[in-house]
Homo-oligomer: A and B are copies of this chain.
């Protein structure tokens, strides 16, 4: 195992510490239990928005803490849900007096831990809502999931709900906007290579030199099937067709097209996939009105990508365009 790390057991702590040093103007790192909050603390009167989950998907979620997006993030061990003892203080730190929305990716461990934390916060009088993200159309149930997995669409939920909270929407409204994004976002990914969890020291699964896993999960969970070395245009079609079908995308509809890198894929390849996806969408008569291309929901050094479509209307477009200032996503501010 070749990695830029010190002690495999200290990877998350040291990485988040470095993250805090690099972005001290935006975030504050709380070391024990570990969570990240906005440098200025909770914003009085604003609905708080938090998320979290296993580490190894950076910049998800800590990279999205800041103005117009998350108020706090809770990184667990690599590919392992954070526990309620960290989620509870993060939720409290995000509370500006108007309640808190938790954005949770649909994995059994995350759902259980965030629900437990939410119940304990509720018991102490804090109004907490949960928005569950399950955008991955690849498989219904999976290794760590009942129902569909939450993957890169989570970034869009956090951006849009974060913008709603920032403009002063109430708790019901922020929750509803989060659910609206979930209802209109679909994703599917593929892997060219596996990745290696530092404390495990070996690759998360095996993939032959001439095999590509279609429908991969962000922890290396099995997808739909394996194919051989096909051209990027064909691979893009394998991802985009189920995404469009599941979304029920009709001619003339407006979308945000998001090509997400899994961590180890060159940006140039992501743009080749973007080109292929944009052509397929144009043929279908869809209007690509916004784009996002890069490493936003990763699986350590895995090579591969995922495609996400978000159906846009005027409200979602305005919230997407609203100013955001976080370590990993920034515009208009």
Listed in ascending order, the chain A residues whose CB lies under 8 Å from chain B are: 2-7, 11-12, 14-19, 21-23, 55-56, 58-59, 63, 192-193, 209-210, 212, 229, 231-233, 235, 257, 259, 263-276, 278, 288, 291, 293, 295, 298, 300-301, 303-305, 325, 330-333
Selected contact of A269 from candidates B5, B212, B257, B332, CB within 8 Å: B5
A7-B257 Cα distance, complex, nearest whole Å: 24
Selected contact of A6 from candidates B63, B210, B231, B257, CB within 8 Å: B231
What 8 A-B pairs have minimum CB-CB distances, sorted nearest first?
A18-B275, A18-B271, A4-B269, A18-B274, A58-B267, A15-B268, A264-B264, A22-B291
With contact pairs A301-B303, A330-B330 given, residues A265 and B18 touching in the complex (Cβ less than 8 Å): no
Could you list 5 examples of A-B contacts with CB < 8 Å? A2-B192, A18-B276, A22-B259, A56-B266, A264-B303
Q: Shortest Cβ distance from A12 into chain B, in angstroms?
A: 8
CB closest residue in chain B, given A12: B268
Interface contact B3-A274, CB-CB below 8 Å? no
Q: Shortest Cβ distance from A262 into chain B, in angstroms?
A: 10
With contact pairs A5-B231, A5-B232, A235-B4 given, residues A14 and B275 touching in the complex (Cβ less than 8 Å): yes
Main secondary structure, interface of A, reads mixed
With contact pairs A4-B232, A59-B267 given, residues A11 and B272 touching in the complex (Cβ less than 8 Å): yes
Interface contact A55-B232, CB-CB below 8 Å? no
Which of A16, A259, A301 is the most central at the interface, judged by chain B CB atoms within 10 Å of its CB?
A: A301
Q: Shortest Cβ distance from A196 into chain B, in angstroms?
A: 10
Interface contact A300-B266, CB-CB below 8 Å? yes
Q: Shortest Cβ distance from A35 into chain B, in angstroms?
A: 16
Interface contact B271-A2, CB-CB below 8 Å? no
With contact pairs A193-B2, A266-B301 given, residues A271 and B231 touching in the complex (Cβ less than 8 Å): no
CB closest residue in chain B, given A275: B18
**A288 surroundings in chain B (CB, below 8 A):** 21
**A332 surroundings in chain B (CB, below 8 A):** 333
**A56 surroundings in chain B (CB, below 8 A):** 266, 268
A255-B78 Cα distance, complex, nearest whole Å: 32
**A271 surroundings in chain B (CB, below 8 A):** 14-19, 22, 58
**A295 surroundings in chain B (CB, below 8 A):** 267, 295
Selected contact of A274 from candidates B21, B233, B293, CB within 8 Å: B21
Interface contact B4-A265, CB-CB below 8 Å? yes
With contact pairs A4-B192, A212-B2, A303-B2 given, residues A291 and B11 touching in the complex (Cβ less than 8 Å): no
A59-B325 Cα distance, complex, nearest whole Å: 21
**A333 surroundings in chain B (CB, below 8 A):** 331-332
A274-B16 Cα distance, complex, nearest whole Å: 10
A12-B269 Cα distance, complex, nearest whole Å: 9
